[in-house]
């Protein structure tokens, strides 16, 4: 994985020192809150309902054991012993004190981490496929591109004060595990006539006005990446609706101009600019790529059948193996998803002890690498099949062995009204109630692949629009009310879900989900997933089941 | 017809630890039941002014008024959001060790 060079470290150290001075001035009263707020936000520090919240960047979700241990130390020393992994592949600490934050940032800098550009109207943490470098269907490791973009976008003078925040995701595979179609810009590494380049998508996003991204360029040569993105952002920035934040995202611009006109303007800007002055030298790309060279995995084919043997000894292990591991490009290895969705837990939360356990396991069994996923889990990308049983045992002893990846209890949920100052309703307790309702592992497996995504407000941090079942919590005259959407999809076949109808009370939601799933089980064809069944039969049977009695 | 006035209290977040705080008789408290209640628009204006002074004094951030009910004899917010703030914790059993319980800070002298 990428390691800071001298410039990177100095940049982060200087920025941390600057923020320490800014906090000192704020505490002395030399800065008002109005003056301080944009400074703290640029360093990832929010003020939420109960406390400050520090959002720490985890570039494209990748971190090593040393970094995870530091997050655990921060959780214990300056927070309340846990952290929350987010749909942006970051981590949030919910209870830091303002006067401790400079020390936290110093601690992060010790392990090449920071909280810069995790807030504000800038290019945010670039996200990617959690199975990067491990997936068998990958053309190229997308993290090389993501790291290049991270360096290009960090404190980019032209794009530090955009009209609104800007999110970029990169995938190296046809199968989209990075939700690129719901990002401002999505990049898919593709090949054409033997040349590797990018398919560029633009204008995706959720929130108040959800859109699936449209194709801006079917094929962009790799060398043109930065000039082309610079042109795309420049056009957006010049048009930027700074008068109305609800119309300020690029998705609205693309929608209002139309993709053809936006494309024409981007191409014109691209032709006009001095691309060579912006393009990154090939030797720099090679320098970055070297950090992402495939790990030197030992030949473990000799004990590859051990996992299969152990399934006979433990049905729990067999279920976990089936549900939480994925194919790897190297024979004898698998990718492992550590579910942060135990029944009744807060989705994405991990205690300091669990973080240390994950660090230990990654160091011993996964080339010292972990990936935070946008589904709020953690991936061990390179685990030998012969080690899987030991990994499972180690995870189980830390309470990290939930065998529910991709099932009804693997729910995405934003912090919601239990933490977030913007939220209009709770989301975590809703997820917990649903998970308890469907706690039976056999029932979960009988239902099959399902993504429930919950947001506690229209900003859609919980990605509800693209949940197979989406749940949006709203405030109706001071009372929580939940809208349900069906048929959303965050993958390469992305779609925005459709509303079932009027909303439901907080207490009704688990029963509503049960009604939807019972309806699905009644009408599905053999082997048909929930999403497949919905696409075949449409909304009506579900609507009928939900509202007929009313 | 003008809306009937609802009793109100003043809330904010502590500058240093971000804690939810309420304006009591002569300073900030972390207990909503101790909050000073404005029973009229004029009293609410006084509370608002106190909040602005406290922000200028660099003790709190983002002060605002919250409508409360008084049915139990002590003020309690009417809106769910403010009820959750008043409890100073999520509504579910989150992963907070008991040792992390915040200690009360003394209210500012009048």
Q: What is the pLDDT of residues A398-413, one digit of tens each?
A: 999 999 999 999 999 9
> Residue B98: closest CA among chain A residues belongs to which residue?
A80
Distance, CA of A235 to CA of A257 (rounded, Å)? 11
Provide, for chain B, the percentages of residues in helix, strand and coil under a 3-state DSSP scheme, each rounded to the nearest 5: 25, 25, 50
- Cβ neighbourhood burial of A397 (10 Å; 0-12, 13-18, 19+): exposed
Would you call B53 an interface residue with chain A, using a CB distance cutoff of 8 Å?
no
pLDDT value of residue A37:
96
- By Cβ distance, the residue of A29, A81, A97 closest to B58 is A29
> Residue A347: closest CA among chain B residues belongs to which residue?
B94
Which tens digit of pLDDT belongs to each residue from A339-387?
999 999 999 999 999 999 999 999 999 999 999 999 999 999 999 999 9
Contacts of A54 in chain B (CB under 8 A): none
Q: Which residues does A385 contact at the CB level (< 8 Å), separation at least 6?
A: A300, A303, A304, A305, A306, A307, A332, A333, A334
Confidence class of residue B93 from pLDDT cuts 50, 70 and 90? confident
Contacts of B92 in chain A (CB under 8 A): 346, 418, 428-429, 432
Distance in Å, alpha carbon of A441 to nearest chain B alpha carbon: 23
pLDDT value of residue B94:
75
> Is residue A484's pLDDT more than 90?
yes
Q: Do A475 and B81 touch (CB under 8 A)?
A: yes
Q: Do B17 and A478 touch (CB under 8 A)?
A: no
Per DSSP, A285 falls in state H
Distance in Å, alpha carbon of B32 to nearest chain A alpha carbon: 13
Q: Are strands A45-47 and A52-56 parallel, antiparallel or unpaired?
A: antiparallel
Rounded to two decimals, what is the model's pTM?
0.95
Contacts of A85 in chain B (CB under 8 A): none
Confidence class of residue B99 from pLDDT cuts 50, 70 and 90? very low
> Is residue B109's pLDDT more than 70?
no
* Residue A380, both tokens: 């061990």
Contacts of B78 in chain A (CB under 8 A): 478
Contacts of B18 in chain A (CB under 8 A): 47-48, 50-52, 95, 97-98
Distance, CA of A226 to CA of A30 (rounded, Å)? 40
Distance, CA of A1 to CA of A147 (rounded, Å)? 10
pLDDT value of residue B98:
41
pLDDT value of residue A550:
59
> Is residue A118's pLDDT more than 80?
yes
pLDDT value of residue A174:
96
Which tens digit of pLDDT belongs to each residue from A50-79?
999 999 999 999 999 999 999 999 999 999
Would you call A346 an interface residue with chain B, using a CB distance cutoff of 8 Å?
yes
Contacts of B62 in chain A (CB under 8 A): 33, 47
- By Cβ distance, the residue of A82, A418, A478 closest to B84 is A418
* Cα B54 from chain centre: 13
Q: Are strands A185-192 and A168-171 parallel, antiparallel or unpaired?
A: parallel
Distance in Å, alpha carbon of B62 to nearest chain A alpha carbon: 9
Answer whether B67's CB lies under 8 Å from B10's CB. Answer: no
Contacts of B85 in chain A (CB under 8 A): 49-50
Contacts of B90 in chain A (CB under 8 A): 50, 418-419, 428
Distance in Å, alpha carbon of A330 to nearest chain B alpha carbon: 38
Distance, CA of A228 to CA of A433 (rounded, Å)? 46
pLDDT value of residue A314:
94
Q: Average pLDDT for residues A121-148, to the nearest whole number?
A: 97
pLDDT value of residue B100:
39
Would you call A78 an interface residue with chain B, using a CB distance cutoff of 8 Å?
no
**Greatest distance between any 2 Cα atoms in chain B:** 52
- By Cβ distance, the residue of A27, A49, A475 closest to B85 is A49
Distance, CA of A443 to CA of A434 (rounded, Å)? 13
Inter-helix orientation angle A259-272/A250-257, to 10°: 110
Give the least confident one: A220-234, A454-468, B16-30, B81-95. B81-95
pLDDT value of residue B95:
65
Per DSSP, A57 falls in state B
Q: Average pLDDT for residues A83-88, to the nearest whole number?
A: 96
Q: Which residues does A365 contact at the CB level (< 8 Å), separation at least 6?
A: A380, A383, A384, A387, A390, A391
Distance, CA of A277 to CA of A490 (rounded, Å)? 36
Per DSSP, A452 falls in state E
* Residue A547, both tokens: 């509202």
Rg (CA), chain B: 14
Give the other-Cβ count within 10 Å of A192's Cβ: 11
Q: Average pLDDT for residues A447-463, to the nearest whole number?
A: 97
Residue A84 forms beta bridges with which residues? A92, A349
Query: Over pLDDT 90: what percentage of chain A?
Result: 94
pLDDT value of residue B101:
40
* Residue A526, both tokens: 């053999």
Which tens digit of pLDDT belongs to each residue from A277-327?
999 999 999 999 999 999 999 999 988 888 888 999 999 999 999 999 999
Q: Do A49 and B96 touch (CB under 8 A)?
A: no
Element (H, E) at A482: strand A479-486
Distance, CA of A264 to CA of A307 (rounded, Å)? 54
């Amino acid at each position: 994985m990428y390691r800071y060079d001298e410039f990177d470290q100095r940049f982060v150290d200087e920025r941390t020192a600057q923020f320490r001075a800014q906090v000192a001035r704020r505490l002395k009263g030399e800065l008002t809150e109005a003056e301080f707020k944009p400074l703290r936000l640029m360093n990832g520090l929010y003020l939420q309902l109960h406390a400050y919240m520090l959002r720490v960047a985890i570039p494209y979700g990748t971190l090593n054991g040393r970094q995870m241990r530091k997050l655990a130390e921060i959780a214990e020393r300056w927070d309340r012993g846990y952290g929350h992994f987010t749909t942006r592949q970051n981590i949030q600490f919910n209870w830091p004190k303002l006067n401790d934050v400079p020390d936290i940032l110093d601690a992060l800098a010790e392990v090449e981490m920071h909280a810069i550009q995790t807030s504000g109207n800038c290019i945010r943490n670039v996200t990617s496929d959690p199975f990067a470098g491990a997936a068998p269907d990958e053309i190229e490791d997308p993290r090389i591109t993501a790291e290049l973009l991270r360096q290009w976008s960090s404190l980019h003078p032209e794009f530090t004060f955009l009209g609104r925040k800007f999110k970029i995701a990169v995938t190296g595979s046809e199968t989209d595990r990075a939700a690129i179609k719901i990002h401002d810009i999505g990049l898919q590494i593709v090949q054409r006539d033997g040349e590797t380049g990018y398919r560029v998508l633009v204008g995706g996003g959720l929130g108040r006005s959800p859109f699936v991204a449209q194709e801006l360029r079917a094929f962009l040569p790799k060398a043109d990446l930065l000039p082309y993105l610079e042109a795309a952002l420049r056009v957006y920035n010049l048009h930027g609706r700074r008068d109305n934040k609800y119309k300020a995202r690029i998705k609205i611009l693309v929608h209002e101009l139309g993709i053809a006109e936006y494309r024409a303007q981007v191409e014109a800007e691209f032709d006009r600019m001095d691309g060579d002055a912006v393009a990154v030298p090939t030797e720099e790309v090679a320098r970055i790529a070297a950090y992402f060279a495939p790990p030197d995995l030992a030949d473990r084919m000799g004990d590859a059948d051990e996992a299969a043997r152990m399934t006979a000894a433990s049905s729990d292990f067999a279920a976990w193996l089936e549900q939480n591991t994925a194919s790897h490009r190297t024979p004898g290895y698998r990718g492992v998803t550590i579910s942060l969705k135990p029944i009744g837990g807060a989705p994405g939360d991990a205690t300091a002890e669990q973080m240390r356990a994950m660090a230990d396991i990654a160091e011993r069994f996964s080339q010292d690498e972990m990936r935070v996923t946008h589904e709020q889990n953690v991936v061990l990308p390179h685990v030998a099949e012969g080690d899987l049983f030991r990994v499972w045992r180690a995870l189980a002893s830390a309470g990290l062995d939930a065998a529910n990846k991709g099932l009804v209890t693997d729910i995405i949920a934003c912090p919601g009204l239990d933490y977030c100052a913007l939220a209009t309703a709770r989301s975590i307790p809703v997820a917990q109630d649903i998970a308890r309702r469907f706690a039976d592992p056999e029932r979960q497996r009988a239902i099959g692949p399902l993504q429930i995504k919950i947001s506690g407000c229209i900003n859609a941090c919980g990605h509800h629009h693209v949940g197979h079942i989406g749940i949006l919590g709203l405030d109706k005259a001071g009372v929580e009310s939940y809208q349900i959407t069906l048929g959303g999809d965050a993958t390469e076949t992305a779609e925005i879900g459709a509303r079932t109808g009027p909303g439901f009370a907080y207490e009704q939601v688990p029963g509503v989900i049960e009604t939807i799933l019972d309806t699905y089980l009644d009408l599905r064809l053999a082997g048909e997933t929930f999403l497949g069944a919905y696409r075949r039969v449409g909304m009506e049977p579900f609507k009928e089941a939900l509202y007929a009695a009313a | 017809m003008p809306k009937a006035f609802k009793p109100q209290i003043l809330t904010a977040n502590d500058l240093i630890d971000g804690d939810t705080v309420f304006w009591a008789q002569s300073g900030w408290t972390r207990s909503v039941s101790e909050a000073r209640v404005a029973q009229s628009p004029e009293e609410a204006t006084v509370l608002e002014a106190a909040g602005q002074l406290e922000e200028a004094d660099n003790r709190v951030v983002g002060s605002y008024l919250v409508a409360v009910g008084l049915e139990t004899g002590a003020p309690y917010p009417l809106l769910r959001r403010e009820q959750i703030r008043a409890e100073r914790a999520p509504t579910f059993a989150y992963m907070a060790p008991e040792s992390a319980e915040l200690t009360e800070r003394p209210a500012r002298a009048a």
